[in-house]
Structure 1
Amino acid sequence: MTIIQFDGRRRRRISPVAVNSIFDTHIPLLSDDIFVEYTKARLLQGPQVIDIILPSGMDRSLFNKAFKALATTFFGVEHKEKNVLSQGLLQYGDALSNVHQALGDPSRHQSYDLFESISVMALFEFLISDNEHGWLSHAEGMQKLMSLRGPDSFKTYPDYIILQDYRPSIILSCVLLRKHTILSKPEWKSIPWSLYPHQKTKMQFLIDILADCPGLFIHKEGIESSPSSCERSIEYSKLRNNISNVLDQLQQWEQDWTTNNGGCSWEVPAPVTTPIIVNHWGRPVPAWETVIEYESLYHANTTVVFNATMIMVQLLADQLTFSGELPRDSRNQGSFPDRKFAAGLTICRSVEYHLQSMRKGAGSFFLLFPLRMAYDAIGRSNTVIGVWLQNVLQQIHNGQSGRWATAKYLLDIKPQQSRGNSPSII
């Protein structure tokens, strides 16, 4: 998430408590500023928020309309105020029409205002929309615009900040849509950081690896549609090597992360909300004795995204290993189930830290993908943990911890080209 400063000056903030106090006095007309400041205070808080100073006089008409629509709708949802909600939805429709017009004008493709407004609309779909696949169309539109602009246009502030923020959603949309992403190309992994190489964090290097995942799924489905068994065998061997390469990259990344960030997390006793399972002796015990605290939300996000990526790739590897098409790789024999379970458990043990952060106003999109992967790894086979994960998503959906509409249907979402074939994301 980013907070943008206006004309080099920081706007005065109004806390959620103050806004609620104003609202409770039943002032008949609430200003747009109230909605905007409430949304910033409620959603865009914490150390992950970056301030960007934009040049005075920069055109931000599209962004202002998009963010006002988001803020008005969000305020209406939070306060169950139907009139405000309806007003926000009308504003969103108007802002969406303006963005579509701008997309049809090649002279505006390089506009930061257009790029920023699309990112706000994608956030709208994640936070508020009941359309299960609404965010996919915005992510697809974002990638098309990025492709038209090229990687060189993202070398400087503030463009490359938004590029960093939205790479994960674009990549995951391509996994679900079974489409290639430009972000897997070497130039998109290097050029945007060429002027600020020190700004490329371990999270961003992890996203580089994640960017290679859509191609793995596309390759697999292409093989399955081939009528030639000989051709399938050759392509399966290539795919197997590609998957092994991604797993090797993840393992190397993990070694580097552990070496440089070994003290960023620690264990504390598990809360009473921890799911209770029955052990081998028939006794009820917590599913895990401790949960993980982190030095910062950045460290928490990076840890769970790594484990989610590891689960996703290993689930795909399992499909090849047990498909009968290929012999089992002796190097990885028997390791997949244990590693997936450990990764899923790490995500579950990180949930409490994320929920606490979200209750403080630091919204975390980065938790959603890991929650789905934890469900696929251990929640489907362990009904107690599966129900617990569903309850966590319900908290996120209804606003007890953050407010992400996407959480409502996260466990049901399937690839667009193979819906109904499998309950998992892959």
Structure 2
Amino acid sequence: MGEFPTTWATTRVDQVVAGRVLSGVSNVAIAPTNANSHTWLQHIQGLEKLLAIHGPVSETSDPLVKIVTEAMRLPLVTASLHSRRPSLMAHPHWKALGGDGTAITPESPIPYLLDALAQLPSLYQERDALTSAQTSVEADGMLSPYPASRVRLLLRKSFCLLSDIKANRAQWDARHPAEAFSSLPSSASGDPAQPCPFQTVTNFSNLRAANAFSFYHCILILVSQFILSVQHLLPQVDRDAFVEKQTSEAVFRSALDILKSVDYHLPFTLAASRSMASDCGPRNFYLLFPLRVAFRALSEADVHIALPYMLWLRGIFAGIRERAMPWASNENLFKLD
């Protein structure tokens, strides 16, 4: 399915088939591995080509194209991020927010966040181009083998993106102050042997608010980690240790914020068939993707501090997996290491 003949793009039946088949593949995109990365990338890239043949989602009148695009937008961007290539979803005519700033989907901060995440693959491509264009100068603390002016320009772009994401969230919170609130954790929080490591958790007025909260902190982690990777390309004397420390601490805090949001979804008590038909647990990409990003961020932190949170999160994933059939047989999907 890596290539779609042009004639496929003219039939509504094939659109539906492609959407249904690839919606299953999107679940694998949560956890790309050496064993399955080639397959799921081919499928997702094939869908992107099919959508490109149809033309910009902002100009189409076909509701099926819009439905498939919005259902697969996050997996499409995730695939681009994994392959380090620009995402079609970053193009102005394919953005989740229209040119007038209105969302294709109902009012939610998620369309903006999807557009923000769609910018990250291009930044990674730019960073990779920098590392491949290194000079013959050896890094000795005073000089860098990478073009310093281009590194600084990339840093400015990245910090601007991060600042814009935070500002957008602040504006949203100001308009919707009651969407998130603190509460005591529930009693059913995963493995009884690993009690909830928080005295208070974050609860939400609805699922949309919960998804937006965890996805926001997920993107903060991804963009901040990218910034740290670019800062490491500068000569040691030009690096700001204080800023790097602040950025690392912000990554850790966002990881904990994602974990605090899990309680809203607990307990995962629906039968597998009902779980797959709802927006909870294993079907919720806006829960699983941030959880995996949070676990990776915690695994890079001080083990003595992060270990209790990581052990608790393992129990949470075990609970999700019990409700994830019929595709729970994929060991890699819930493997956190």
In the alignment, which of 190, 195, 206 is matched to residue 113 of structure 2?
A: 206
Report 1:160-199 matches (<5 A): 160-189=66-95, 199=105
Paired residue secondary structure (2:261): helix
* Matched letter for residue 184 of structure 2: P
Give the structure 2 partner of residue 374 of structure 1: 294
Report 1:339-378 matches (<5 A): 339-356=250-267, 359=270, 361=275, 362=278, 363-378=283-298
Report 1:301-320 matches (<5 A): 301-320=211-230
C-alpha contact 2:2 2:43 (8 A) present in aligned 1? no
Q: Using the alignment, how far apart are the partners of 2:112 and 2:254 within structure 1?
A: 19
Q: Deviations over 1:379-424 (max 9, x none)?
A: 443122222222322322332x6766498435779xxxxxxxxx8x
* Matched letter for residue 186 of structure 1: P
Aligned: 1:132 with 2:132: no
Residue 100 of structure 1 deviates from its aligned partner by 8.0
How many pairs align?
A: 306
Give the structure 2 partner of residue 235 of structure 1: 150
Residue 286 of structure 1 deviates from its aligned partner by 5.3
Q: Deviations over 1:96-135 (max 9, x none)?
A: xxx789x32x233143332332221122235589963343
Paired residue secondary structure (1:266): strand
Unaligned segments of structure 1, at least 5 residues: 1-98, 277-283, 414-422
Q: Using the alignment, how far apart are the partners of 2:257 and 2:224 within structure 1?
A: 16
C-alpha contact 2:23 2:72 (8 A) present in aligned 1? no
Give the structure 2 partner of residue 81 of structure 1: none
Q: Using the alignment, how far apart are the partners of 2:171 and 2:161 within structure 1?
A: 15
Q: Using the alignment, how far apart are the partners of 1:409 and 1:142 within structure 2?
A: 23
TM-score, normalisation: structure 2? 0.77
* Matched letter for residue 206 of structure 2: S
C-alpha contact 1:126 1:406 (8 A) present in aligned 2? no
Would the alpha carbon gap of residues 377 and 303 (structure 1) be closer, same or farther in structure 2, given more than 3 Å must change?
same
Structure possessing the higher radius of gyration over alpha carbons = 1
C-alpha contact 2:255 2:297 (8 A) present in aligned 1? yes
Residue 187 of structure 1 deviates from its aligned partner by 2.1
In the alignment, which of 274, 286, 293 is matched to residue 203 of structure 2?
A: 293
C-alpha contact 2:189 2:266 (8 A) present in aligned 1? no
C-alpha contact 1:310 1:340 (8 A) present in aligned 2? yes
Aligned: 1:216 with 2:123: yes
Paired residue secondary structure (1:288): coil
Paired residue secondary structure (1:263): coil
Residue 330 of structure 1 deviates from its aligned partner by 8.7
Q: Using the alignment, how far apart are the partners of 1:231 and 1:100 within structure 2?
A: 35
* Matched letter for residue 223 of structure 1: L
Q: List structure 1 segments (4+ residues) > 6 angstroms apart after TM superposition.
A: 128-131, 190-196
C-alpha contact 1:275 1:287 (8 A) present in aligned 2? no
C-alpha contact 2:92 2:99 (8 A) present in aligned 1? no
Residue 373 of structure 1 deviates from its aligned partner by 1.5
Would the alpha carbon gap of residues 231 and 398 (structure 1) be closer, same or farther in structure 2, given more than 3 Å must change?
same
Paired residue secondary structure (1:109): helix
Would the alpha carbon gap of residues 356 and 114 (structure 1) be closer, same or farther in structure 2, given more than 3 Å must change?
farther
Tell me the C-alpha RMSD between the 2 structures: 3.5
Give the structure 1 partner of residue 12 of structure 2: 112
Give the structure 2 partner of residue 54 of structure 1: none
C-alpha contact 2:180 2:204 (8 A) present in aligned 1? yes
Report 1:39-78 matches (<5 A): none
Paired residue secondary structure (1:292): strand
TM-score, normalisation: structure 1? 0.62
Q: Using the alignment, how far apart are the partners of 2:207 and 2:330 within structure 1?
A: 19
Q: Using the alignment, how far apart are the partners of 1:398 and 1:262 within structure 2?
A: 35
Identity percentage of aligned residues: 18
Give the structure 1 partner of residue 165 of structure 2: 250
Aligned: 1:409 with 2:320: no
Aligned: 1:266 with 2:184: no
Would the alpha carbon gap of residues 213 and 404 (structure 1) be closer, same or farther in structure 2, given more than 3 Å must change?
farther
Residue 177 of structure 1 deviates from its aligned partner by 1.1
